[in-house]
Amino acid sequence: MTRRRVAILISGRGSNMVSLIEAASRPDFPAGIALVLSNRPDAAGLERAAAAGIATAVVDHKAHPTREDFEQAMEAELKAHDIAFICLAGFMRVLTDGFVERWSGRMINIHPSLLPLYRGTQTHRRALEDGVLVHGCTVHFVVPELDAGPIIAQAAVPVVPGDTADSLAARVIVQEHVLYPKALRMICDGTARLDNGRVAFTRGWNADGTLHSPG
Ligand code: GRF
């Protein structure tokens, strides 16, 4: 098995990063986390990555005059670590079309909603305002349009009476931590790949069963 070299890009606490690092520490996982890169020197996730023995790098966007310049510095780190795939995990910088195109099919993101619903921020608050009874998270390939890339995997959770944005976020993030490693496995072992703007899957599907909420 070839273990693909993966970089995780973060800006904050890095709980998804930890779930990816943990999954990739298993010998049968088709990827190894070769780098954690943050655009913020104070991202809490950096310490957590270092504690797990992962190489870390900071490319501070504030130290670079343009977006292109910032991304060039990131590319240098990615090249130095021979990175094949990028996982965005709470990375709070918008990337240029050029960067996104260069990593097309090799860069994925996790988003806290069932896309295409609730692109952007404040997803849990907006879901509650709309009164949806099922919410969740999505892993998708990154394309230039924000949160609009082809979907690799989704997980759903119920919305229950009395939920707040925080309680809903807490329920969703548990599933993010399960879903993201699964999706990374799928792109690294070739189960899912980007093909003409769609995700092509090689594995069969189980069409039985429906998620009901309220259950
Ligand atoms: C997660 O909710 C993820 O879906 C979103 O940003 C948040 C990052 O959280 N893209 P963490 O840093 O992984 O804990």
* For ligand 1, mutation pick of 9, 15, 135 (most atoms within 8 Å of CB): 15
* For ligand 1, mutation pick of 168, 173, 184 (most atoms within 8 Å of CB): 173
- Ligand 1 within 6 A of CB of 147: no
The residue nearest atom 12 of ligand 1, judged by CA position, is 14
Q: Report pLDDT for 49.
A: 98
Calculate how far, in angstroms, residue 141's C-alpha sits from the geometric centre of ligand 1: 16
Q: One-letter amino acid identity for 214?
A: P
- Ligand 1 within 6 A of CB of 12: yes
Instruction: Indicate the helix (H) or strand (E) that contains 40.
Output: none
Q: Which residues of 192-212 are buried (b: 16+ CB within 10 A; e: fewer)?
A: bbbeeeebeeeeeeeeeeeee
pLDDT over 90 (residue 157): yes
pLDDT over 90 (residue 210): no
Calculate how far, in angstroms, residue 16's C-alpha sits from the geometric centre of ligand 1: 6
Contact (Cβ atoms closer than 8 angstroms) between residue 48 and residue 10: no
Task: For residue range 45-76, list pLDDT tens digits in order.
Answer: 999 999 999 999 999 999 999 999 999 999 99
pLDDT band at residue 206 under the 50/70/90 scheme: confident
Positions marked catalytic: 111
- Token digits for 34? 């070769």
Strand partners for 6: 33, 85
The residue nearest atom 6 of ligand 1, judged by CA position, is 90
- Ligand 1 within 6 A of CB of 112: yes
Tell me: cis bond preceding 214? Omega within 30 of 0 counts: yes
Interacting residues of 206 by C-beta distance below 8 A, sequence separation 6+: none
Task: For residue range 99-122, list pLDDT tens digits in order.
Answer: 999 999 999 999 999 999 999 999
